[in-house]
């Protein structure tokens, strides 16, 4: 099979280039998009994510605020900051990096964010808008990035059977809604940890999305020849040959699966780079929507 390797890095760059024009237009009209990123605690991975989001803003000319709060920050202090950001006219997007320390009620934090600034798309208002196919809502960045990859690579979803492995609110569920929407018209099946005969089910998929967090879960017997495979998984596996002692792999056993597919995303360099690009896109959208209302 002639397999297309879906290049998330160059697609993300294309998205960023389109955003540069949109940001310039907004600035000409007197509006600079602004994103506030809030981190509570010292989780090293979260710190890396937050820094790369701030860096992405800087590269595009998006105004950003980084709030790095100590791990012992109380729920009340965090909610007070979010209230301040909700009212800050320079800020159009608010993101609280997940996961917060255990004493923080994450659902209450999500609820406290103004849905118009909820660029992560986790607020119930935005979840409802996704289900209702109301395009003014915000969709979580990773599934949005997956849809953008399908679009940029000309993958038709119309009438196709899409199987999504994973039912999280961040990836699996929103991905299912996007694929079953009237814009995409796929027939969608969601698989999860209790699904029987996962391989057999996946073998019926024209489009297979793996969002599990298990390295190499998807192997050749899962694949219908010619399928398109999107690997959302980001997993660290030990690798003594690497300077850091580990490498990053997806949920798909790439070497055995890729030859069977018509197109596949690698890890790294596939879905991953799209996530931050779509966060930037959501921030620009929030700025446009908030400033249009005056």
**Rule CB under 6 A: which residues touch ligand NAD?**
142, 165-168, 170-172, 191-193, 195, 198, 211-214, 232-235, 271-272, 275
Minimum CB distance to ligand NAD, residue 110 (Å)? 15
Minimum CB distance to ligand NAD, residue 21 (Å)? 25
Minimum CB distance to ligand NAD, residue 262 (Å)? 21
By beta-carbon proximity to ligand NAD, the closer residue of 81 and 234 is 234
CA distance 62 to 273: 18
User: Which strand (E) or helix (H) includes residue 28?
Assistant: helix 8-28
Instruction: Give one word for 133, left, alpha or beta, with left for phi > 0 and alpha for psi -120 to 50.
Output: left
Residues 6+ apart with CB under 8 A from 60: 16, 19, 20, 23, 280
Structure tokens that stand for 168 in this block: 């999280």
Instruction: Give one word for 160, left, alpha or beta, with left for phi > 0 and alpha for psi -120 to 50.
Output: beta
CA distance 34 to 135: 21
Where are any strands of DSSP class E within 143-257?
161-165, 187-191, 207-210, 228-231, 235-238, 246-249
Minimum CB distance to ligand NAD, residue 164 (Å)? 9
By beta-carbon proximity to ligand NAD, the closer residue of 211 and 258 is 211
By beta-carbon proximity to ligand NAD, the closer residue of 278 and 284 is 278
By beta-carbon proximity to ligand NAD, the closer residue of 114 and 120 is 120
Minimum CB distance to ligand NAD, residue 251 (Å)? 6
Q: Which residues are catalytic?
A: 53, 97, 120
Each residue of 222-241: b (16+ CB within 10 Å) or e? bbbeebbbbbbbbbeeeeee
Angle 187-167-109 from CA coordinates, rounded to 5°: 130
By beta-carbon proximity to ligand NAD, the closer residue of 91 and 191 is 191
Where are any strands of DSSP class E within the chain?
4-5, 34-40, 63-69, 93-96, 161-165, 187-191, 207-210, 228-231, 235-238, 246-249, 263-264
CA distance 139 to 8: 19
Minimum CB distance to ligand NAD, residue 276 (Å)? 8
Answer for the pair 85, 66: CB distance below 8 angstroms, yes or no.
no
Residues 6+ apart with CB under 8 A from 193: none
By beta-carbon proximity to ligand NAD, the closer residue of 78 and 170 is 170
């Amino acid at each position: 099979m002639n397999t297309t390797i879906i290049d998330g890095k160059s697609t993300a760059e294309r998205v960023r280039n389109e955003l540069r024009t949109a940001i310039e237009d907004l600035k000409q009209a007197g509006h600079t998009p602004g994103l506030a990123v809030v981190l509570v605690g010292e989780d090293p991975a979260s710190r890396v994510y937050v820094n790369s989001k701030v860096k992405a803003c800087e590269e595009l000319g998006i105004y950003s605020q980084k709030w790095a709060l100590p791990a012992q920050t109380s729920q009340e202090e965090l909610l007070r900051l979010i209230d301040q950001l909700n009212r800050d006219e320079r800020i159009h997007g608010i993101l609280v990096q997940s996961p917060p320390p255990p004493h923080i009620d994450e659902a209450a934090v999500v609820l406290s964010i103004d849905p118009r600034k909820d660029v992560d798309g986790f607020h119930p208002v935005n979840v409802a808008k996704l289900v209702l196919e109301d395009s003014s809502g915000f969709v979580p960045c990773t599934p949005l990035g997956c849809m953008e990859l399908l679009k940029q690579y000309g993958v038709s979803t119309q009438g196709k059977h899409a199987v999504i492995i994973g039912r999280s609110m961040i990836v699996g569920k929103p991905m299912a809604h996007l694929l079953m929407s009237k814009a995409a018209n796929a027939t969608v099946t969601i698989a999860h940890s209790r699904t029987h005969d996962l391989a057999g089910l996946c073998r019926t998929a024209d489009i297979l999305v793996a969002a599990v967090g298990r390295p190499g879960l998807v192997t050749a017997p899962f694949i219908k020849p010619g399928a398109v495979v999107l690997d959302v998984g980001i997993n660290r596996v030990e690798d003594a040959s690497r300077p850091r002692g580990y490498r990053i792999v997806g949920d798909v056993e790439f070497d055995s699966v890729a030859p069977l597919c018509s197109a596949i995303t690698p890890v790294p360099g596939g879905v991953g780079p799209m996530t931050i690009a779509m966060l930037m896109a959501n921030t620009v959208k929030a700025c446009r929507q908030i400033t249009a209302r005056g």
